Amino acid sequence: MRVKVCGTTSVRDAVLSAEAGADALGFIFAPVSKRLVTPQVAREAGLSVGPVVARVGVFLGQGLDEVLRTADSARVSAVQLHGPLRGLYVRQVAAYYPVLRVVRPADLAAEADMWRDEPGVTLMLDAPEPGGGVPLDWAALRDVFPRGAWLAGGLGPANVAAAMQALNPAGVDAVSRLEASPGVKDAALVQAFVATARPGQTRVIHSETATCG
């Protein structure tokens, strides 16, 4: 089980999510988002969490050049793609970065067929409005949720265990229900989310500096 905390906009929030045990941090580069971050801040935040935590650049309907340039400048380790996209476009991004391809329930069957045997492209099921905090109907998805797919959509500390029980996703992702205000994390909510999704995984990011001599 992998846990991604999305909508990171500062070094402070990157460090608190990493210390809570998150496997991945999301940096949103879609201009429509309330959690928009610059590539420079994303890069600094990513560098602040050490070598283990994945940094995911999140895009919605943006041009290929913009996606690749921004991802490079932010030094992300993976790219998350929202919106209706041609298969060729997704493959072109996947030639450079592991891709989380985000789909709505209505598009799940077609996209699952398209990406089933495609190394480097992982499906993530999300609500039609990304970052909207609205959970999906897990019961309706039980028979069609693809093996190895990730789940998002209105997840938080109070419901992530039930979502995992219902669909057994390979990863979970959340933003709205982990915030004090849009773009600002609530440390207690992040800790509770990660601890519930994957117990016992906190980590130390900043250790005491050893003194020599």
User: Site residues (CB under 6 A) for ligand LARABZUK?
Assistant: 6-7, 26, 28, 30, 32-35, 58, 60, 82, 126-127, 130-133, 152-155, 173-177
Residue 82 vs 198, nearer CB to ligand LARABZUK: 82
Q: In whole angstroms, how close is the CB of 133 to ligand LARABZUK at the nearest point?
A: 4
- In whole angstroms, give the CA distance from residue 178 to residue 180: 7
Task: Supply 33's token pair.
Answer: 């988002």
Residue 99 vs 206, nearer CB to ligand LARABZUK: 99
Residue 30 vs 149, nearer CB to ligand LARABZUK: 30
Q: In whole angstroms, how close is the CB of 81 to ligand LARABZUK at the nearest point?
A: 10
Q: Strand pairing partners for 185?
A: 179
- In whole angstroms, give the CA distance from residue 156 to residue 140: 20
Task: Supply 28's token pair.
Answer: 């949103």
User: In a 10 Å sphere around its CB, with 0-12 CB exposed, 13-18 middle and 19+ buried, how is residue 127 labelled?
Assistant: middle
Residue 89 vs 212, nearer CB to ligand LARABZUK: 89
| Amino acid at site 48 | S
- In whole angstroms, give the CA distance from residue 145 to residue 37: 31
Q: For residue 148, what are the CA distances in angstroms to 51, 54, 171?
A: 24, 18, 8
β-pairing verdict for 179-181 and 184-185: antiparallel
Q: In whole angstroms, how close is the CB of 213 to ligand LARABZUK at the nearest point?
A: 47
Residue nearest to ligand LARABZUK (CB): 131
Residue 81 vs 210, nearer CB to ligand LARABZUK: 81
Q: In whole angstroms, how close is the CB of 207 to ligand LARABZUK at the nearest point?
A: 30
Q: In whole angstroms, how close is the CB of 109 to ligand LARABZUK at the nearest point?
A: 20
